[in-house]
Structure 1
Amino acid sequence: MTYQTIIHEKRESVAWITLDRPAELNAVNLQMLQELSTALAEIAADASQKVLVLTGAGRAFCAGADLKALRGAMDAAPGEPNFSDLTLSTLSLLRHMPKPVLGALNGLTIAGGLELAMCCDLLVGAASAKIGDGHANFGVFPGGGGAAVLPRRIGLERAKQLLFTGDLMSAAQMQAWGLLNEVVADAELQSAVTAMATRMAAKSPLVLRRMKAVADRAMDQTLELALRDEQLECLQHTRSHDFREGLAAYGEKRAPAFRGI
Structure 2
Amino acid sequence: MSATDIGSGAKAPAVELELRGKVLWVRLQRPEVLNAINEEIVEGLSAAVDRASRKDVRAMVIRGTGRAFCAGADLMEVPGAIIDTARIKATVERVAAVVERIAALPKPVIAGVNGLCAAGGLEIVLACDLVVAVAGARFADAHSNYGLLPGAGGSARLPRAVGEPMAKRLMFTGDFVTAEELAPLGFIALIVPTDTLDEALEALGNSLAARSPRVMAAMKRLVTAGGDSTLNEALRAEDETLTAYLETPDVVAGLAAFRQGKRPTFDD
Q: Which residue of 2 aligns with 1:154?
A: 162
- Whether contact under 8 Å (1:29, 1:70) holds in the other structure is no
| Cα distance change, pair 15–228 in 1 and its aligned pair in 2 (3 A) | same
Could you tell me how far apart the structure 2 residues matched to 1:254 and 1:227 are? Answer: 31
Instruction: After TM superposition, give the deviation of residue 68 of structure 1 in Å.
Output: 2.4
Q: Distance in 2 between the 1:162 and 1:65 partners?
A: 17
Residue-by-residue CA offset, 1:150-173 (whole Å, 9 max, x unaligned) = 111111111101111110011111
Asked if 1:236 corresponds to 2:244, the answer is yes
Q: CA deviation at 1:77?
A: 8.3
Q: Which amino acid aligns with 1:39?
A: A
Any conservation in 2 of the 1:105–1:126 contact (CA below 8 Å)?
yes
| C-alpha distance in 2 between matches for 1:249 and 1:70 | 56
Moved >6 Å (runs of 4+): none
Instruction: Determine if contact 1:30/1:69 at 8 Å carries over to the other structure.
Output: no
- Offset of residue 176 of structure 1: 2.3
Structure 1 window deviating more from structure 2 (81-90 vs 155-164): it is: 81-90
Instruction: Write the distance in 1 (CA, Å) between the matches of 2:265 and 2:125.
Output: 32
Does residue 145 of structure 2 align to residue 127 of structure 1? no
CA distances 1:195-218 after superposition (whole Å, capped 9, x unpaired): 111111111111111111111110
Alpha-carbon contact 1:50-1:205 (below 8 Å) kept:
yes
TM-aligned CA distance change 1:6 to 1:243, over 3 Å:
same
Number of residues of Structure 1 aligned to a counterpart in Structure 2: 258
What secondary structure, in the 3-state scheme, does the structure 1 residue paired with 2:17 have? strand
Aligned-residue identity in percent = 37
The aligned counterpart of 2:48 is: 39
Check conservation: 1:122, 1:180, Cα contact below 8 A. yes
C-alpha distance in 2 between matches for 1:81 and 1:145: 14
- Determine the structure 2 residue equivalent to 1:185: 193
TM-fit CA distance, 1:189: 1.0
Structure 1 residue runs without a partner (length 5+): none
Measured at CA, do residues 81 and 177 of structure 1 come closer, stay the same or move farther in structure 2, by a change above 3 Å?
closer
> Residues 130 and 168 of structure 1 are in contact (CA less than 8 Å); yes or no, is this contact kept in structure 2?
yes
Gaps of at least 5 residues in structure 2 are: 6-12
How far the C-alpha of 1:227 sits from its partner, in A, is: 0.6
Contact in 2 for aligned 1:60/1:107 (Cα 8 Å): yes
2:96–2:153 contact (8 Å) kept in structure 1: no
Shift of 1:2: 1.6
Q: Does 1:63 align with 2:105?
A: no
Deviations 1:97-126 (A, max 9, x none): 110011110010001111110001010110
1:52 to 60, 63, 66: 60
TM-score where L is the length of structure 2: 0.91
